[in-house]
Amino acid sequence: MNDRLLMAARAALLSGVLALTGCAGSESVRYYVLSATPAGPVGAAVRDIPVGVGPVEFPEYLDRPQIMTRTSQNELSMADFDRWAESLKDNTIRVLAENLATLLPSQRVVTYPWKRATPVDYQVTVQVSRFDRLEQGESVLAVRWRVLDGGGGELLSRTSTYRETPSGPDYPATVAAMNRNLEAFSRDVALRIGSLSTGSGR
C-alpha cells in the first residue's frame, strides 16, 4: 500500500511539473524588423548618384536572433521572447541602403558585394560597435564610418553615436527607437555624400 501511495505521489508531482513547464513555455515569441523611414530627400535634389553600401561589420554578440540589453558596462542580457526576424546585420544593411536611396535620392544604391559591371561613385563602409538598448531603456547606435570614392580612396572618416529614448518600456518601443537611430545615421551619410557630390566640402 505504501508503495502504491509513493508511486501515486510521484506521478502527481511529475504531472504538476509538466503542467508548469507547459505554462512557462506557452508564451509566444515576438519578431521584429527595422524598416526604412525617411519621407524625402535631404537638401536640394542632386544627380542620380551611384552609391555602394558596405562592407558593414557587426560584433558577433549583436548579430544574433535575440534583442540585446546592456545591463552594465561588461554585462548583457538576451530577450528570450523578443527576437529579430532576420539577421540584425542584414536588416541594418538593407534599411541603410533603402534610406539612402530615398534621402539622396538615388535609384542606384547597391549593397556589398556588387558586380564589377556596377560602378559606384561613392562607397560607404561601416563598423558598428554598438546597436543595443540600455537597461534603463535608451537605444544606442555607435558607428565608425567612411565614404570612399569609386576607386577606394578615402574621402572622409567619422565616428558617430546616436541615442534615442523609447516612448515606452516595451520592446516594440525599443525597436522603434533603434529605427530612429538608424534613420539619423542614414541622414548624416546622405548629407555628406550630397555635399561631396556638389563639391561643397567634407
Q: Above 60 in pLDDT, residue 15?
A: no
Helix, strand, coil percent values for the chain (each to nearest 5): 35, 30, 35
Find how far residue 80's CA is from the centre of its chain.
18
Q: Are 43 and 200 in contact (CB under 8 A)?
A: no
Is residue 1 in a domain? no
CATH number at residue 158: 3.40.50.10610
Q: How many folded domains does the chain comprise?
A: 1
Backbone angles phi, psi at 98, to 5 degrees: -65, -40
Least confident of 7-11, 102-106, 196-200: 7-11
Is residue 133 in a domain? yes
Q: Above 50 in pLDDT, residue 14?
A: no
Residue 170 in grid coordinates: 516595451
Is residue 56 in a domain? yes
Is residue 121 in a domain? yes
Is residue 4 in a domain? no
Is residue 35 in a domain? yes
Average pLDDT, the chain: 87
Give the residue numbers spanning the domain of 165: 31-197
**pLDDT tens sequence across 166-189:** 999 899 999 999 999 999 999 999
Arithmetic mean of pLDDT, 61-87: 94
Q: How does residue 13 score in pLDDT terms, banded at 50, 70 and 90?
A: very low
State pTM to two decimals: 0.84
pLDDT at 21: 47
Is residue 16 in a domain? no
Q: Are 197 and 49 in contact (CB under 8 A)?
A: yes
- Taking phi over 0 as left and psi of -120 to 50 as alpha, with beta for the rest, 152 belongs to left
Q: Are 174 and 137 in contact (CB under 8 A)?
A: yes
Please tell me the distance from the alpha carbon of residue 36 to that of residue 154, in angstroms, as a whole number: 27
pLDDT at 18: 41
Please tell me the distance from the alpha carbon of residue 177 to that of residue 192, in angstroms, as a whole number: 23
Q: Above 60 in pLDDT, residue 91?
A: yes
Is residue 188 in a domain? yes
Please tell me the distance from the alpha carbon of residue 199 to that of residue 202, in angstroms, as a whole number: 8
**pLDDT tens sequence across 93-109:** 999 999 999 999 888 99
